[in-house]
Amino acid sequence: MGNFVHLHLHTEYSLLDGAARIAEIADKAIEYGQSAVAITDHGVMYGAVEFYNSLKAKGVKPIIGCEVYVAAKDRFSKEGKADSSGNHLILLVKDSVGYKNLCYMVSESFITGFYMKPRIDMQLLEKHHEGLIVLSGCVAGKIPRLILEGDMDGAEQYALQMKGLFGDDFYLEIQNHGLDEEKRVNYGIKLISEKLNIPMVATNDVHYLNRSDADVQATLLCIQTNNVITDGRPIGFETNEFYFKTEKEMTALLGGFKGAIENTVKIADKCNFNFEFDKIHLPDFKPENGLTHKEKLYRDAYRGFEQKAKEGRFDFVNHTKEEYIERIEYELSVIDKMGFNAYFLIVSDFVSYAKKMDIPVGPGRGSGAGSLVAFLIDITDVDPIAFDLLFERFLNPERVSMPDFDIDFCYNRREEVIEYVKRKYGADKVAQIVTFGTLQARAAVRDVGRALGMPYSSVDAVAKLIPYESNGSIENALKSKELRNLYDSSEDVRRLLDTSKRLEGMPRHASTHAAGVVITEKPTYEYVPLSYSGTGIVTQFDMLTDAKLGLVKFDFLGLRYITIIHDAELKIRKKNPKFDISKIDFNDEKTYKLLCDAKTDGVFQLESAGMKQVLSRLMPSTLEDIIACIALYRPGPMDSIDKFIKRKHGLEETVYKIPKLKEILNVTYGCIVYQGATRSRVK
């Protein structure tokens, strides 16, 4: 499979500084007969798992790495320009120990070392070097910088220091992108290699896959720096040589340096790290009195059953006590069989804390409302038997996946619950989750237009011809006659749209997931790298990737409506001290009159203009009708709204195509193309 491997490559996750799309890398490697490729994004590991899975799927060996910034003095020094410009260094993972060490250092680069950029230091490298291969870096590395400054003694001294630390896993990196300074660096590197017997390795600083993508890279950088492309290219990218080259091209450029090409394969052979996707890493919840998780959940569930029975919280008019007991036993057996006893206890614990601290908590929504055990241990406040909700929609032995409770907390006090979790499990075992804003079609056009220096009015005219819809891609928009005519008749518009298409969908910035929090058994950095995203520490992998790696997500949703309802309840109690919102009458005629009149401003999920129209036509008279409204008013099920309304008002006969489904579909008038917000009427 060839004698060269790319070990220095930036994907789209070198945010606005890399145009090599992960989805295209494996195909390029296969086309060029290359057996492996490394990912080395600037200071982050955002794309590591996506890169790993993408390459593995096509039989190309993925090498996980990062181009880190090493602080000039140490990562705690944060004064002036000298501390802001760290020296570049490539770290590649050999094994699981190396992965944990890289995760720790990258995490620390944000948590303790961030100053303009995430920075590590020699102290971290000395303590966490095991399992890693190190390349000395591009012209922005310390050794190249010392060579360019004419300090060969300093360069040799640093090289010896790194060799002493990493031994045979330290390599002197050489590159040739047609830059004059690289020639001087490579000459110095060669001298150091021969004098100190440190092997060289050839890399290309890959930022895009094809030579023709150089303009795309330049545009990305201009978007990042808020500059305009001129006749020259951005500093550091003065040539168009930063692309994914063939073995033949690399040999022609750097084959004269002894072992530099061959060492790329030797390094790739040393790197044999694989992610584990078959383990779940729940936090360490310790029940009191030495109980097992199973014993505590069983005890809490039946204590809850007795208490709620005394409070009259069950529908014993339409259902027997035996039905409830049977459901409890069934749910407990499934929860235990699937290994989720601890998960239920963990959620119950922080919800109970919130309630004890008088932090308003929602009654539960989504599929979790289908669990009777969740109701008994106060995670939810909905009796699923009374509302005919299905537990299997939440947990199903035939479909093994993590349960996922959507817990709503008071918007103003949500952070108090997260802080409680940090105190209980340890702050180093709790992190929020990263999410990425992407260059959507319209935004991409506007960003690219600014980078190209085009007049705002011209760019705005083009952007407005691209629809807002989820399928509003540039490619789809070009099917319209008006935009196609602009594209065909204007070279500037053609360049604008062609460049925007290449950038469309790329991540633009990192931010924090609105609700997701992971809690782990060991420090979170032992599983995934961390970063700092405005509001706090976040995992560098998104929620789906965290889940693949076995990290359990807990949703702490901050909902203003919960706060509003709580405040309203307090005001009502000033006149009616016995008022309890959990005991309100679901058959109150005045409430349904307000709904029928579409007076629903400020009512969660019922306040949009479209929903108001449905309410005024439906004329809801039961809680089932409200459930139906919310469930039907979404893409897909929306097509059944007219049929549902006509059948409710007797304007169309209710037909059950399969008579056996009547018991299930009677409350939905036979409509089955329907996803329930709480009920499970799924086609």
Which residue in 293, 405, 285, 402 sits closest to 349, CA to CA? 285
CB 411 within 8 A of CB 374: no
Q: Which tens digits make up the pLDDT trace of 381-433?
A: 999 999 888 898 888 888 777 788 889 999 899 999 999 999 999 999 999 99
449 and 547 in a single domain? The answer is no
Torsion of CA 286, 289, 292, 293, to 10 degrees: -50
**Mean predicted confidence (pLDDT) in 23-49:** 97
Question: What is the 8-class DSSP label of residue 37?
Answer: E
- pLDDT at position 471, please? 57
Which residue in 459, 433, 441 sits closest to 508, CA to CA? 441
CB 630 within 8 A of CB 606: yes
CATH of the domain at 47: 3.20.20.140
Q: Last residue of some domain: 561, 577, 602?
A: 561
- pLDDT at position 106, please? 98
- pLDDT at position 634, please? 84
Alpha-carbon torsion (76, 80, 83, 88), positive or negative: positive
Rounded to whole angstroms, how far apart are CA atoms 216 and 208?
8
**Mean predicted confidence (pLDDT) in 172-201:** 97
Q: Is residue 529 part of a domain?
A: yes
Q: Can you give the residue range of the structural domain that contains 319?
A: 288-435+511-561
490 and 516 in a single domain? The answer is no
CATH of the domain at 427: 3.30.1900.20
Task: Give one DSSP letter per residue of 140-168, joined into a string.
Answer: TBHHHHHHHTT-HHHHHHHHHHHHHHHGG
Structure tokens at 466: 């691209």
- pLDDT at position 406, please? 86
CA distances from 405 to 362, 432, 451 (A): 11, 16, 44
189 and 296 in a single domain? The answer is no
Q: Which tens digits make up the pLDDT trace of 593-613?
A: 999 999 999 888 899 999 999
- pLDDT at position 535, please? 74
Buried b (16+ CB within 10 A) or exposed e, 641-675: bebbbebbeeeeebeeeeeeeeebbeebbbbbebe
132 and 244 in a single domain? The answer is yes
Structure tokens at 258: 């002894």
Structure tokens at 351: 């919800």
Q: Is residue 16 part of a domain?
A: no
Which residue in 524, 520, 536, 514 sits closest to 407, CA to CA? 514
Q: Last residue of some domain: 236, 270, 304?
A: 270
Structure tokens at 158: 């640093």
Other beta carbons within 10 angstroms of residue 273's beta carbon come to 19
Strand partners, 133: 92
Rounded to whole angstroms, how far apart are CA atoms 625 and 634?
15
Buried b (16+ CB within 10 A) or exposed e, 76-93: eeeeeeebebbbbbbbbb
Buried b (16+ CB within 10 A) or exposed e, 216-238: bbbbbbbbbeeeebeeebbeebe
Could you give the count of Cα atoms lying within 13 Å of 194 in the half-sphere of its Cβ?
7
Q: What angle do CA 611, 435, 396 make, to 5 degrees?
A: 70
Alpha-carbon torsion (536, 538, 544, 547), positive or negative: negative
pLDDT band at 683 (very low <50, low <70, confident <90, very high): very low
**Mean predicted confidence (pLDDT) in 163-183:** 96
Q: Is residue 661 part of a domain?
A: yes
Q: Which tens digits make up the pLDDT trace of 437-475?
A: 988 899 899 999 999 999 999 999 999 988 876 556 898
Q: Which tens digits make up the pLDDT trace of 93-149?
A: 999 999 999 999 999 999 999 999 999 999 999 999 999 999 999 999 999 999 999
Q: Is residue 683 part of a domain?
A: yes
Rounded to whole angstroms, how far apart are CA atoms 181 and 205?
15
Q: Is residue 537 part of a domain?
A: yes
Which residue in 560, 605, 584, 247 sits closest to 412, CA to CA? 560
357 and 481 in a single domain? The answer is no
Residue 225 pLDDT more than 90? no
Question: What is the 8-class DSSP label of residue 428?
Answer: G
pLDDT band at 235 (very low <50, low <70, confident <90, very high): low
444 and 430 in a single domain? The answer is no
CA distances from 196 to 155, 185, 604 (A): 11, 16, 70
- pLDDT at position 231, please? 60
Average pLDDT, the chain: 91
Q: Total domain count for the chain?
A: 4
- pLDDT at position 232, please? 64
* SS3 at position 465: coil
- pLDDT at position 515, please? 87
- Where do we find the tokens 């407990």? 332
Q: Which of 327-336, 389-398, 544-553 has the lowest mean pLDDT?
A: 389-398
pLDDT band at 530 (very low <50, low <70, confident <90, very high): very high
615 and 553 in a single domain? The answer is no
414 and 452 in a single domain? The answer is no
Q: Is residue 532 part of a domain?
A: yes
Question: What is the 8-class DSSP label of residue 552?
Answer: P
3-state per-residue secondary structure call for 220-260:
HHHHHHCCCCCCCCCCCCCCCCCECCCHHHHHHHHCCCCCC
- pLDDT at position 677, please? 41
Rounded to whole angstroms, how far apart are CA atoms 317 and 578?
25
Structure tokens at 430: 């709790």
- pLDDT at position 302, please? 97
Q: Last residue of some domain: 219, 236, 270?
A: 270
CB 620 within 8 A of CB 596: yes
Q: Is residue 129 part of a domain?
A: yes
pLDDT band at 152 (very low <50, low <70, confident <90, very high): very high
- pLDDT at position 663, please? 82
613 and 639 in a single domain? The answer is yes
Per 3-state DSSP, the chain is made up of helix, strand and coil in percentages (nearest 5) of 50, 15, 40
Other beta carbons within 10 angstroms of residue 3's beta carbon come to 14
Q: Is residue 495 part of a domain?
A: yes
The pTM of the whole model exceeds 0.75: yes
447 and 420 in a single domain? The answer is no
Burial class (CB in 10 A: 0-12, 13-18, 19+), 588: exposed
pLDDT band at 580 (very low <50, low <70, confident <90, very high): confident
133 and 198 in a single domain? The answer is yes
Rounded to whole angstroms, how far apart are CA atoms 583 and 427?
38
378 and 391 in a single domain? The answer is yes
Rounded to whole angstroms, how far apart are CA atoms 344 and 332?
10
